[in-house]
A and B are shown apart, each in its own frame.
Chain A
């Protein structure tokens, strides 16, 4: 890679089980805790930060608050005058903020950037929240007047797999059970104390109702409040940082590769476009390939694990073949062979993913890269993938619309 390398210095994730509305908190409190926690964890001085990027989907709707970049200044007097911006690409907002920060470092403008992904979603009832999320689709055509539009859209992703290749719901249930099980080992996961097993995920009933189409409650990520900070640096800053902390620079993880593609907004248009393609979401596939290529990897088996976007079980099912773990349409093979489980050939979502760890929409992409950093620096505690050197992430906005992938490692 000829470009300036982007070093990842760590950050902080708030406990995704928290309900900040019940705590009587404003979204600025979430940003503050994520930043203060990240500064403490990385031992970075506030005055060293040169630029701030906030990823957020819909604070205007959930919290009647825009202009989130400016809240960074509220955290510390040393941030006075800090250049900031807020980025939005639905559920991929967190990754877009990372891309913006890293582009500026690559361009040589800044040496140390702070990225915050944040979403406060428990401010409204689930149906209203579901309607807000509908703005990540083509609202007027796909979401207006539809109860819980997104489970229905991702149900249709499952239907498309079923039509092209065949799909058994038991494989989706297994994806759910694996994510919940992994989340039990993650102390910041939303569902860490919830009860779930494969039998529950397979059955429909009072406690596992159908939300839309083939999607049941157990197939869905939940409504989550959360904020995540991440500190990215140029080689210049990273060298000084490593020296100061007595670490070998070569041991600091980097963003080794990235991919970023956009597909048509409407789900029907995506499906129409990919009719003759072996992949259901070819632009998502391309974002993954771009990230692997930029990281100098021949295929996905050059990474130790994947943190993927399982907003629903169908999106993880899609990610399995799109990452190339199986041939197109054969994701079920990796599920049946235990490939995606902890201890498997390619663990997916050691953190519990969006279903288990939680999905504060605008924070998810940032959380995935922070989890990748935890894995490659052996700080993932009970959900550590042993000896992980490289981790891939995939973050998706809308119904497979904006796809962002990263490879993080040494």
Chain B
């Protein structure tokens, strides 16, 4: 069946994900309706889309509307209805009931949920709705971060999944991974395991030290705790709680939200979105200067960064120097061989990421390259197989065993086969490692 996408309706187009996704559709020249509670809110979404595209011309493909005034008129004309409301299941279900009633028989309905059950959202809906319903998980801001998950539930028609995959990969310029309908899907499951583990370690080792230890030199654009501040502590809690409550795998304990975070969230510390309170970091303007303060998790107070910053272990400095001149393999060798408890700690986190990520193959995704794609294109982290290639497969297995972590079957198979593990074309592996 030849489908064409001429019109997309975005529900919740005022939010970050709604306006960002709307920008992606409109940039491809698709007529996109931005719906929000009222026109003013929809206009805010359009303005954000203009800012993301850095062009007023993006608005040529955008029309505005409100739920009360325009849902009933625009949804029946839509080829795709894209829901980007808050992560609130009853709210989403209420809108989906309405969309079910209004949609054209062939229209695709997608949710941008970052981890709620797709099947639960489809519950109670007509069979036709269910066949055309799936998750499209974009990462913020989607005009820059092109990684994307497509999540069918058991009732989604294969034809719809394939079509949406082609639409996203083609005109919408995404790098797509199909994942199972499991808590947090693939990217957030693997990514937040690491982020929360580092947040747990911060209670014992301090924010500044642990965030620098697992810093950009280990293959990420942003250090882990700065990432949680950027994402928002409330979003972080929602994701790790969901995984902790609804999964039972080898790393379940890594998803337990640290107590100090629970306390601080209750008193309004949500990271960068609450700049006055802060998160792991707080930036205070002092005249022309911005002063950085860092959280002390034990006392739940902030100290000037200049008083807190600890010296990094010598092996970390060596890794950075090697990355600086492009010697990534040697930098990884330093990580594998460095003595001392700091190196043991870092190996546990990095090899834990490799082990946990590749162990999701067969569970959440089909192939190792799926995990690679979403971690590389979605999180801007060195994909697990890139780390394995730099370490050497046998060396990686030995190090994973030494850290008392489970060796993923796909890694064992790869080690027997030999050759390069990372197979995503047109990616410079060096781009992930900061000097």
Contacts and interface: CB of A to CB of B under 8 A. Distances in A.
Nearest to A196: B55
B327 A193 contact: no
Interface string B35-78: 00000000000000000011111101000000000000000000
A18 B431 CA distance: 7
B27 A26 contact: no
A187 B425 CA distance: 9
A193 B146 CA distance: 8
A28 B143 contact: no
A29 B325 contact: yes
Nearest to A192: B173
Interface string A15-47: 100100011111011111100010000000000
Contacts of B434: 22-24
A32 B326 contact: yes
A205 B56 CA distance: 9
Nearest to B61: A197
Given A33-B430, A195-B53, A195-B143, A26 B58 contact: no
B325 A207 contact: no
B60 A29 contact: no
Contacts of A31: 326
Contact of A26 (B53, B60, B431, B435): B435
Interface string A166-206: 00000000000000000010011000111111011001011
B428 A207 contact: no
B173 to A, nearest CB: 6
A74 interface: yes
B306 interface: no
Contacts of A188: 426
B129 interface: no
Could you say which interface size class chain A belongs to?
A: 20 to 34
Contacts of B154: none
Contacts of B53: 195
A304 to B, nearest CB: 23
Contacts of A32: 325-327
Nearest to B51: A207
Contacts of A26: 324-326, 435
A73 to B, nearest CB: 13
B56 A24 contact: no
B323 interface: yes
B56 A195 contact: no
Contacts of B324: 24-26, 29
B5 interface: no
A26 B430 CA distance: 13
Contact of B326 (A25, A192, A193, A208): A25
Interface string B137-158: 0000001101000000000000
A197 B26 CA distance: 12
A395 interface: no
B320 interface: yes
Nearest to A186: B426
Nearest to A197: B57
A203 B60 CA distance: 13
B433 interface: yes
Contacts of B23: 195
A14 interface: yes
A207 B435 contact: no
A33 B55 contact: no
A22 B431 CA distance: 10
A294 to B, nearest CB: 33
Nearest to A218: B55
A29 B430 contact: yes
Interface string B416-435: 00000000011110110111
Contacts of B431: 15, 18, 23
A138 to B, nearest CB: 34
Contacts of B27: 195
Contact of B54 (A18, A74, A184, A207): A207
A25 B327 CA distance: 11
Interface string B151-187: 0000000000000000000000100000000000000
B114 to A, nearest CB: 21
Contacts of B426: 15, 187-188
Contact of A23 (B54, B327, B425, B433): B433
A94 B410 CA distance: 43
Contacts of A195: 23, 27, 53-55, 57-58, 143
B144 A193 contact: yes
Given A14-B428, A25-B323, A199 B60 contact: yes
B173 A184 contact: yes
A207 B325 CA distance: 36
A26 B24 CA distance: 34
Nearest to B29: A197
A30 B324 CA distance: 10
Nearest to A217: B54
Given A195-B23, A200-B56, 17 more contacts: A15-B426, A15-B427, A18-B431, A22-B434, A23-B430, A23-B433, A25-B435, A26-B324, A26-B326, A32-B326, A33-B326, A187-B426, A192-B173, A195-B27, A195-B53, A200-B55, A208-B55
29 contacts: A15-B426, A15-B427, A15-B431, A22-B434, A24-B434, A25-B325, A25-B326, A28-B325, A28-B326, A31-B326, A32-B326, A33-B430, A187-B425, A187-B426, A188-B426, A193-B143, A193-B173, A194-B54, A195-B27, A195-B53, A195-B54, A195-B55, A195-B57, A197-B55, A199-B60, A200-B56, A200-B57, A203-B57, A207-B54
